[in-house]
Structure 1
Amino acid sequence: MKKYIQITAAAVTVIGMLSAGFSAVAAPAPAQPMKMFINGVHQPDVLNVNGRTMVQLRAFKDPANMSYSYDAATKTIMITNPPKQMTVKLKNGLKTAEVNGKSIALDAPVTVQDGRTYVPARFVTETLGGTVFYNGSTKQVIVRTPTGEEQFNTLRSGDLTKARNLALKLPKLNNGINIEPYGEGFTTVYTFPKGEALRYFMEYKGLLAYIEINASGLAEIKWQKDTLGHNGQAGIEPEPFGDSVYFSDNFMADMLNYGTIDSTGKLTEMGAISRYRNEEYANVISVSIEGEVRTDAK
């Protein structure tokens, strides 16, 4: 227990320094090639058929709205969408889909490759719900399922605590910034500017990272620094946050400590939660801070 207290105290002390500032750093990461993301997750298995972007069907996961099955006898892929009272049938090689018994034309044929079924991205979003758009400046195809679209709206303009938890669950894009941690420990500390959910610091094993959620709902690592002085730093260091809130997550002890940090780096602990005794906090990192109001809604 004594070791845990020492590790946590060290981690939180490092994060407290963020409000007081760091020194300037290196050059920005290079531009990235075109990539597809579904609900913030990079999809490496994407096809281009007849100039159309094809997405792996099972990557378009949304258990609250749809389910998939396969009829081996007729070699038919079945999609059911209870909220929309919809049934979709697809077959490999066909440029049509059957939607509630009616034939719908596809931009490109259903394609099965290496046991995976691919369909036009625009078809799944327009038919099953959700959104798809191409960001020319970043060369990214952004796809969201219906639930993903709801979460994106919460992330951008919804409840502060819910938005923070969604932000922390997003996969992080390193964009060429990838420094290995040098230290040891079981505690990860997350620090958000007071009232904000779309940018934060993360500290683990002495490695500090600054992450921003961009306009497309992707979490990008903008800066990293090995505070132990072994592996250097990379990216563009952000300005100090000033007044902040922190969440210290010790996964070994299954404890969550949280509190505030003022502009001088002084920490004030607001509470501690044992997940052993409070199972409703399993997988929860951000909790409400009394008196805090969201200020970065888009």
Structure 2
Amino acid sequence: MLTSAVFVSGALFATSTEAAALPVKVQLNDSLLSFPDAQPFVDDNSRTQIPVRMVAEKLGYSVSSTPVGKQVKVTISGNGRTVVLQTGSNRAELNGKGITLDTSAILSDNRTYVPLRFISESFGTEVDWDSKTQLVIVSSDGKDHSPVLKAVSPATILVTNSQKYLGIPYMWGGNTTSGFDCSGFVQFLLNQQKVSVPRTADGMRQSTGTSVFAPTPGDLVFFSDSQKAPASHVGIYLGNGKFISATNSKGVQITPLTSGYWGNRYFTAKRVFSS
């Protein structure tokens, strides 16, 4: 049943980039689960990773872990099935049969995460994703369950997700967590929400969204030395007079919109998500 990742307390963890990715919530039947010290997230392969010992116990499964060098071997058993995975590897076993996954179990902050989709399919548990609430819904009783959370606006999701990448360095032409340029950063974030946009700042200005006089959180903001088209820089407005963007001086950072260097270059905004 597990949903997109499994946590085994007492393990190690390897990378921090994944854990800084898209946050998600987990609902088991009609109850929202709480994860006090290790939060579920969506990894770079768009797979949900979730610390799941408490979930496994609620479902009657057993979870054990064994150190293997700097990695951790995880065994999950229940309903007559046994799944074995190892962090850092996309190989797994289901009842002794080898399987190749489309993402890997990972280790972070002394927590082991295992991909939900594979686990859920392995144990025959239904798992649904509700994009409006960023909620994974796990059904252990075979029934349909409505989200217990209220919908989160796409603009709010964009603002929240953008700040998960603060400090990632600038890279000309970059559109991955290894490095971003300004338009690559915006394109990366919008792609996560299934919104396709042009690759350049001015391409976005010309063909993305609707022009607005005063930006609100989640709007794209555009800049140029002449304060008119073509745009040479793009970012995402956060509210309170600030925006976030990938700069060639300090990478992804938050800066004032209407004062300082960028205040002298700001000239327009476009709304991608209507309220």
Would you say same fold, with TM above 0.5? no
TM-score scaled by length of structure 2: 0.38
TM-score scaled by length of structure 1: 0.35
Greater relative contact order (Cα < 8 A, sep 6+) = 1
- Rg comparison, structure with higher value: 1
